[in-house]
Structure 1
Amino acid sequence: MNGNRFGRLFQVTTFGESHGEAMGCTVSGCPAGLELSEEDIQADLDRRKPGQSMITTSRGEPDDVSIKSGIQDGYTTGTPIGLVIQNKDARSGKYEPFITAPRPSHGDFTYSAKFGTRNWGGGGRSSARETVNWVAAGAIAKKLLAREGIELKAHVNQIDDIEAPEVSFDQIKAHSEENDVRCAHPETAERMQERIAEYQEEGDSIGGSIYFEARGVPVGLGAPRFDSLSARLGQAMMAVPATTAFEFGLGREAREWTGKERNDDWEFDGESNPTPVENDHGGIQGGISSGEPIYGEVTLHAPTSIPKSQQTADWETGELKEEQVIGRHDPVLPPRGVPVVEAMLALTLVDFMLLSGRLNPDRVDDRPGEYDTDYHPSNPNNE
């Protein structure tokens, strides 16, 4: 099965199934000399892990990460970084009714039809649990970007028909982690949580959206057409499980704007460089970063695993039957999806930074002074 690798130079190859022994990934292309610890990665994994609130699945996974390779004395060596996260609380028995009867709107049927088999425990490879690998790799990408003055953040801006008012980047950084919904507008977060609770009581689920933003991105990331920044970012976001829409800048609203309204006028900055007055283009023009903040939105549909009885078709017996998905599932996805969206944004940007030569692909020189980065075998004494 292909499709398990993301990135050109900063490559992430993932493995694992929802109810398998472990999840994990290999990160290739990270420059040598970046200070990195398991704690750096764990911070983001803790934001994604299950069982952290009443509006997430109760599955008890600590999601503790273990670095298996690519680190020496607390710094990256430039070789592949191996990351492993053990599965501790898998309960596959509840999925036995669906071995030959696909759960509605899951990947059960399509995986089985394509491959002739599938790991049915918890959805196997198609489970959103696989995103734990993306978040782990994204934490490394975030650290590389931070060195270059690039920071990014996301928050939940809509659940059902409850939409948060526009908030600043600083507000997102300050308030998005203050509530279980991860909405940076506290009053709206309370309403969202109440609405989620209503769906939980009904045994149903609901969808929503995540707003993301990146600041400090330099001009020139991306290439025309199929390697455009917007195209690659769209690929990254549409890979997030349950995503039904990706947009940047004005997004869908652009259909209601005239060319004159949307077009950004130009002016000179303090160093006589042309710069757009507005940023309705969302930081990307012609598929290439403009130097303005990159922002957009990802829409996630309602979780498909719900406790309500639903009809399925058993391809072994040829019968239609009613089944109930019994298990531990999220009633809404955006709150735990925030770190996933941030990870895919970070992985996309760091890959383009390497491709554009703005990051040295060999080293980042975070190591302390005793590591002499000017050493060369032909001149061991640096003379």
Structure 2
Amino acid sequence: MKIPFNKPYLTGKETSYIEQAVRSGKISGDGIFTKKCHEFFEQRYGFRKVLLTNSCTDALEMAAILLDIKDGDEVIVPSYTFVSTANAFVLRGANIVFADSNDQNPNIDADSIEPLITSKTKAIVVVHYAGIACDMDKIKAIAEKHGLYVIEDAAQSIDSYYEGKVLGSIGDLATFSFHETKNVISGEGGMLAINNKSFAERAEIIREKGTNRSAFFRGEIDKYGWVDIGSSFLPPDIVAAFLYAQLENIENIQNRRKEIWQRYYTGLKELEENCLIKLPQIPHYATNNAHMFYILCGENERDDLIQHLKKKEILAVFHYLSLHKSRFYHDKHDGRVLPNADSYSENLLRLPFFYELEENDQHMIIREIKDFYS
């Protein structure tokens, strides 16, 4: 493919930092680069506590354990999201109650949440799609009224804000992804942000196979043992070394991605003005971290556009399929129709987006989309 959908970007120091980690004599979890990454996030963004994980999926599974999710508990989750958002809670026995997206962007419709709450509801999980904030004041007010936890699935949301508050700092817990398609990457990789201090100590234990090993290594106890449930959620330090090289360059990466995003928006605006496609909308309370650029095609147009671009060696891809219609959860869903989630599933198309996307190639993509609609 001449223009791929994604291409991982190397800042230049990844391999030298990995070598440093190896030479330090500790390449398992919580080495020198893991600590550097933790300090970066806590100092730059003001998270109360963060813990690197092997993936955002791991971080979500940790969140489900921390909330003591049990059989019969209900968790409200948007249908238009990646499977891990729901699966992490299903693994603990939860019944997932799917919410629709709003009609302005794929984020959860905050106004649809309260009617879904029952005596069994334990948490609301929100997904900041494309790094664009959900309506967090409204969602937090609903949660506080009903005594519910809020988890931010901020997988796509590094360096993005809601009313001046960094995404991932608003809910009780938040999860991030450093998958190779994200703004800053480590191949796979994730992070749990802990904003509710009551979870801080237990989060360390769950991440270390249910042991208080972290406290032992800090010299706070004279021996460690098995004190809770958990698993091996911590990543090797060589993964953190790769990530730290990316974090050192986050401003450069973000500036470049915002340039690419704006070029798409400006180049395709004419098609939106002619009512042929819809472009992303950024609410007044949200910032744009340029995680992705998507367009919304008209009914039954997306597959043809994908094929048109593929013939020109341009790889554009659709995204999530509504989870309430999935083979696994269809029979468990309560039967409500979620029209906005289905519309995004059927019509949203993501365009190639990566740091090294050349301006000429981007103009070619824009030109081919315009040709399709002409």
TM-score range, shorter chain: under 0.3
Tell me the TM-score normalized by structure 1: 0.25
Which one has a bigger Cα radius of gyration? 1
Tell me the TM-score normalized by structure 2: 0.25
